[in-house]
Structure 1
Amino acid sequence: MQSSLFANAPAQTAERFSLQNAHMLKVQLGNGHPQDCLARVGSMVAFQGAVDFDGNMRSGAEQAAAAATGEQLNLMRAVGTGTMWLANMAQSIHVLSLDFDGLTIDGQYVLALDSSLTWNVVALESSQSIAGAGSYQLDIRGNGKIAIMTSGKPLVMRVTGGNEAFADADAVVAWSTGLSIGLEAQATSQRVYSRRRGTGEGWNMSFRGEGYVVVQPSEMLPPADFITSGGWMANRGLGQQGGMQGNTWGQ
């Protein structure tokens, strides 16, 4: 049997975390690497070797934080000796090495991480809740690797003391924990409560300090219940199955 398909054989690398391709992560377990890894629930697409999967037990503090804020990491634990491949909805994957520094990120963008890393839920200092940024984020710290996901190839902006950065709050994925952030409503001079009417650019996030900001080329999608065939809108004739120009969200 011959085909160009066979060019997609397992990538040959000794790295703990590596990219099989832009949309699939390869993770080595054992054989000189740690024998366990935390990964997004349901993200395993293939594995070789003796690898077991189990739910990850959350501490009491993690459970309390999840209940209070809704921000959490839904993780499974892979243990053994072998190789596994992870993916989620063909999203783009990026591997970062944390060297006792911190990354602030929404839990939905985390694919996998070393169990040596720790995380806490942190609140954004704003009275507003933004679709992409949310009111709470995860502060992940320690020494280890983490794989994050974006919808498409991201922009990574360098922020320095004299170089403040701004981004659409619905497109921001993650940023260096040491940055100072702000949420700003853009108002016109004519009406203070008019937030750039007609532009769809009502909220910005500002970043100051020293670090990086990761921005994806996609803004936050509407809630899943609004776009699935059996969702709230579809059941009322407004979703993918008809009504209101077929689909309110243009899908």
Structure 2
Amino acid sequence: MQSVIFNNASQQTAERFSKQGAHMLRVGLQDGDDVVARAGSMVAFEGIVEFDGEYQSQRQHHSQHMTGEVLPLMRCFGQGTVYLANLAQHVHVLDVDHEGLTVDSSYVLAMDAHLHWDVVSVESQYGIPGVGAYNTLITGQGKVAITTSGSPLVLRVTPQQLCSVDADAVVAWSSSLRVQMQAQTSSKSIWRRRGNTGEGWELNFMGDGHVVVQPSEMLPPQQTSFGQRLQFQQGAGPGLGQGGAWGPR
């Protein structure tokens, strides 16, 4: 059998986390060196690999229940290689240091099992309880794989170069950044979108770090099952918090 499809054969590498094409993650597993991944994201594996539901602490479970920032995870362990993907989104591998990374849980694909995660929030500039949003803070030293809808834009933020991002397009950012949520509006009610521009909440970033923005304000279909029509969510809520310093690859 001959075909150009065989150009997409598995790419052997010594790296633990590596991209298999633009839309798939390849993770090498050894005994005692587990990885946690988005539940249901396995598309293939080689060797002796097992999967189990990931334990969540009482704090993590409570935070997800109260905020709606849900990160469903499974543990992958054994000896072999596992391939992960989510809705053919673009995959990116980040090196996270001890300060951590803040990311919308919808775009977390996998991470080293020894990393810690929790839900964090940022309030709006108006200081109104409940006006703000929630993201996932990942801390420790290790690798995290995230996804984006399309090729992302990475903005460099410095004390001299601030940036503002649509809250529905932001994916992740560095913890070294100060984040403020605001809505530029002339309406008497801050709950209304500004004018007829179609723009809503935005995040202002200050400090020294990076911000990842995807070319889409659409969240991918979530929690779909066989026989159900895939539904996209528009403006399902901005993602925020205090995140970590990281290095994109």
Rounded to whole Å, the distance in 2 between the matches of 1:180 and 1:117 is 23
Matching residue of 1:170: 168
What secondary structure does 2:150 align onto? coil
Contact conserved, 1:102 with 1:178, CA < 8 A, in 2?
Answer: no
Distance 1:54 1:7, change over 3 A: same
Distance 1:6 1:128, change over 3 A: farther
RCO higher in structure (CA 8 A, sep ≥6): 2
The partner residue of 1:136 within 128, 134, 137 is 134
What's the TM-score once normalised by structure 1's chain length?
0.82
Q: Runs in 1 of length 4+ with deviation above 4 angstroms? A: 191-195, 221-225
Distance 1:48 1:177, change over 3 A: same
Q: CA deviation at 1:128?
A: 8.0
Q: CA deviation at 1:112?
A: 0.1
Rounded to whole Å, the distance in 2 between the matches of 1:28 and 1:109 is 21
Mapping of residues 1-251 of structure 1, within 5 Å: 1-30=1-30, 35-126=33-124, 127=128, 135-188=133-186, 193=189, 195-221=193-219
Q: CA deviation at 1:196?
A: 3.7
What's the TM-score once normalised by structure 2's chain length?
0.82
Rounded to whole Å, the distance in 1 between the matches of 2:94 and 2:86 is 17
What secondary structure does 2:65 align onto? helix
Q: CA deviation at 1:90?
A: 0.2
What secondary structure does 2:20 align onto? strand
Give the share of equivalent positions with the same residue, in percent: 54
Q: CA deviation at 1:121?
A: 1.1
Contact conserved, 2:87 with 2:220, CA < 8 A, in 1?
Answer: no
What secondary structure does 2:27 align onto? strand
Rounded to whole Å, the distance in 1 between the matches of 2:219 and 2:27 is 29
Rounded to whole Å, the distance in 1 between the matches of 2:219 and 2:99 is 30
Rounded to whole Å, the distance in 2 between the matches of 1:81 and 1:222 is 31
Q: CA deviation at 1:201?
A: 1.6
Distance 1:222 1:40, change over 3 A: closer
What secondary structure does 2:196 align onto? coil
Gaps of 5+ in 2: 235-249
Q: How many residues align?
A: 225
Q: CA deviation at 1:221?
A: 4.2
Gaps of 5+ in 1: 232-238, 241-248
Distance 1:13 1:67, change over 3 A: same
What secondary structure does 1:116 align onto? coil
Distance 1:154 1:57, change over 3 A: same
What secondary structure does 2:100 align onto? strand
Contact conserved, 1:18 with 1:26, CA < 8 A, in 2?
Answer: yes
- 1:11-57 deviation digits (Å, cap 9, x = unpaired): 121100000010000000018xx531100000000000000011111
Rounded to whole Å, the distance in 2 between the matches of 1:149 and 1:166 is 21
Compare CA radii of gyration and give the structure with the larger one: 1
Rounded to whole Å, the distance in 1 between the matches of 2:100 and 2:22 is 24
